[in-house]
Amino acid sequence: MKKIVVGIIGIIIAAGALAGGYFLLQPSKDTSSVANTAQQQAPPVSVMSPEVRDVVLYYEFTGKTQAVETVDIVARVSGYLEEIKFEDGADVQKGDLLFTIEDDRYKAQYDQAFAQLQSRKSELVRAEADLHRFQEAIQNNAVSKQDLTTKQAEYDQAQASVIASMAALAEAELNLRYTRIKSPVDGRINRNMVDAGNLVGVNGSTVLATVVALNPMYIYFNVSETLVSEIMKQVGGANAEGIPFQFAVMDEQGYPHEGIVRFIDNRVDPNTGTILLRGEFNNEDKQILPGMFVRLKLSVGTKNDAVLVQDTSLLTDIGGKYLLTVDEENTVKRCPVVIGQKTGDMRVIESGLSAGKPYINTGLQFLFPGMKVNPQPAQNQAGSKVM
């Protein structure tokens, strides 16, 4: 039995020796071929070089539109509202008739005041004639000085009565004019707040409608005091008035509208640390209404030879913003950067990336620092390579 076991062990040892000799005789693989295979197996990535060009600098804000003029149309005399002369939401011109209030009572008051004035003028003429006659009579001692003084007082009283009657007539004329209510400005009217047939102006002024001027219009927005100082430095002036800006209402893309800063408040709000600015813009098509929220940007200069990358290529982690680049050994590297403003689909890089340093612009979610990759030049929309 022992002989059989020893024989089996010997066979196994002999087979191992033969196998070892076989492997020792096999030629070693080419290391360069292995490297090429590894390179082929590395995932391809698209890389491109930063764009270098001059960029207009700007600050972004949010604001709110407001009409240059907003006028409440009120009833300044009491009476029944007779007619409404406009369509709700219509554009009106200065001087257009909007409402009429019953004017019978005010016509009567005007006629009465006019008649009273004519009566007072007649009394003034008589008092003046009496005064002249007594002035001549006093020369001949035909009347006493007391009589002359009395006639002078009567004349002065008649003259004062004429003046009072003229004032009463002017008031009556004004009240009569108030029965026809006209638009004081060019603009758009909202709707009638009171229907025809109702009594208005009894317990104070009754608001009948509101007219807002739509062209031009204002935009009010707040800027931090430090930012205002920075803007003033960059524009090289004592204040920021006259700076152009672009803006858009909230549902618009880009900044399709333009305006000019016309006013800067004279103090900082102590509660917010901001200063109120007001821009003005033309609104000829009257599509922008008061009370709309807008996005706006102020242009404050130009950054020459700015370095720009595609905004979608930027990544963010706890350390801040960074790009992925590829070194000479085709290894992915993390490149921390400080970003500036966005320009279209590009982002200004303030520091961290040199102008000639390529960066990875696609497939970023599958990459990590230290990973081997096969960099490929990116292509633009025309199909040409970009590096």
For residue 96, give the CATH number of its domain.
2.40.50.100
Mean of pLDDT over the chain = 83
What three-state secondary structure class fits 344?
A: coil
**Does residue 332 surpass a pLDDT of 80?**
yes
Please check whether residues 63 and 97 belong to one and the same domain.
no
Listing DSSP states for 222-234 in one string gives EEEHHHHHHHHHH
Question: Closest by alpha carbon to 301, among 237, 345, 252?
Answer: 237
pLDDT for residue 257: 93
The domain that contains 145 carries what CATH number?
1.10.287.470
Q: Give Cα 302 distance to the centre of its chain.
A: 22
Does residue 76 lie within any of the structural domains? yes
- Inform me whether the pLDDT recorded for 27 exceeds 50: no
Rounded to an integer, the average pLDDT of 256-284 is 91
Q: What is the pLDDT of residue 111?
A: 93
CA angle 308–377–329, rounded 5-degree value? 95
Report the pLDDT value the prediction gives residue 384, as an integer from 0 to 100. Answer: 44
Q: Specify the residue for token string 């010997």.
A: 10
Assess whether 168 and 267 both reside in one domain: no
Please answer whether residues 283 and 216 qualify as being in contact, where contact means their C-beta atoms are separated by less than 8 angstroms. yes
**Which residue(s) pair with 385 in the sheet?**
379
Does residue 14 lie within any of the structural domains? Answer: no
What confidence tier does 172 reach under pLDDT thresholds 50, 70, 90?
A: very high
pLDDT digits (tens, 9 = 90+) for 61-82: 999 999 999 999 999 999 999 9
Average pLDDT for 210-230: 90
Whether 167 and 186 map to the same domain: the answer is: no
pLDDT higher than 90, residue 171:
yes
pLDDT value at residue 24: 34
Give residue 71's pLDDT. Answer: 94
Residues 205 and 314 grouped into a single domain: no
Rounded to an integer, what distance in angstroms lies between the CA atom of residue 241 and that of residue 229?
13
Residues 76 and 112 in one domain: no
Q: For residues 18 and 285, which has the higher predicted lDDT (pLDDT)?
A: 285
Residue 256 lies in a domain: yes
**The pLDDT value given to residue 92:** 94
Q: Which helix (H) or strand (E) holds 359?
A: strand 359-360
Asked if residue 216 has a cis previous peptide bond (ω within 30° of 0), the answer is: yes
Q: Same structural domain for residues 218 and 297? A: yes
Residue 15 confidence (pLDDT)? 42
Residue 382 has pLDDT above 80, yes or no: no
Q: Of the ranges 41-45, 190-194, 299-303, which one carries the lowest mean pLDDT score?
A: 299-303
Q: Give the pLDDT band of residue 152 (cuts 50, 70, 90).
A: confident
- Is the pLDDT at 108 greater than 90, yes or no? yes
- In this structure, is residue 128 part of a structural domain? yes
Q: Which domain holds residue 291?
A: 59-68+214-301
- 239 pLDDT higher than 80: no
Mean pLDDT, rounded, for 112-121? 92
Is pTM beyond 0.85 here? no
Comparison of pLDDT for 303 and 283, the residue scoring more: 283
Give the CB-side neighbour count of residue 80, counting CA atoms within 13 A. 6
Domain termination residue (choose one: 286, 301, 316): 301
Instruction: Identify any residues that bridge with 44 across adjacent strands, giving them in sequence order.
Output: 374
The total domain count for the chain is 4
- Whether 364 is covered by a domain: the verdict is yes
Same domain, 81 and 108: no
Confidence of residue 147 (pLDDT cuts 50, 70, 90): confident
Q: What is the CATH number of the domain that holds 363?
A: 2.40.420.20
- Same domain, yes or no: 328 and 277: no
If asked whether residues 309 and 382 sit together in one domain, one would say yes
Q: What span, in angstroms and rounded, lies between the C-alpha atoms of 178 and 173? A: 9
How large is the average pLDDT for residues 289-314? 90
Report if residue 37 sits inside a domain. no
Residue 18 falls inside a structural domain: no
260 close to 242: Cβ distance less than 8 angstroms = yes
Q: What is the mean pLDDT of residues 141-149?
A: 78
Which is more confidently placed, 20 or 221?
Answer: 221
Residues 243 and 128 grouped into a single domain? no
Rounded to an integer, the average pLDDT of 101-118 is 92
Considering the domain architecture, whether residues 85 and 207 belong to the same structural domain is answered as: yes
Residues 222, 202, single domain; the answer is no
pLDDT score, position 5? 41
For residues 207-222, average pLDDT: 94
Distance CA 240, CA 91 (A): 34
The predicted structure's pLDDT at residue 234: 63
160 occurs within a structural domain: yes
**Percentage with pLDDT > 90 across the chain:** 47
Domain boundary among 262, 285, 301: 301
Q: What angle do CA 253, 259, 260 make, to 5 degrees?
A: 145
Choose the final residue of a domain: 301, 319, 340.
Answer: 301
Summarize the confidence of residues 333-349 as an average pLDDT. 90
More confident residue, 189 or 226: 189
pLDDT of 8 reads: 44
| 238 pLDDT above the threshold of 80 | no
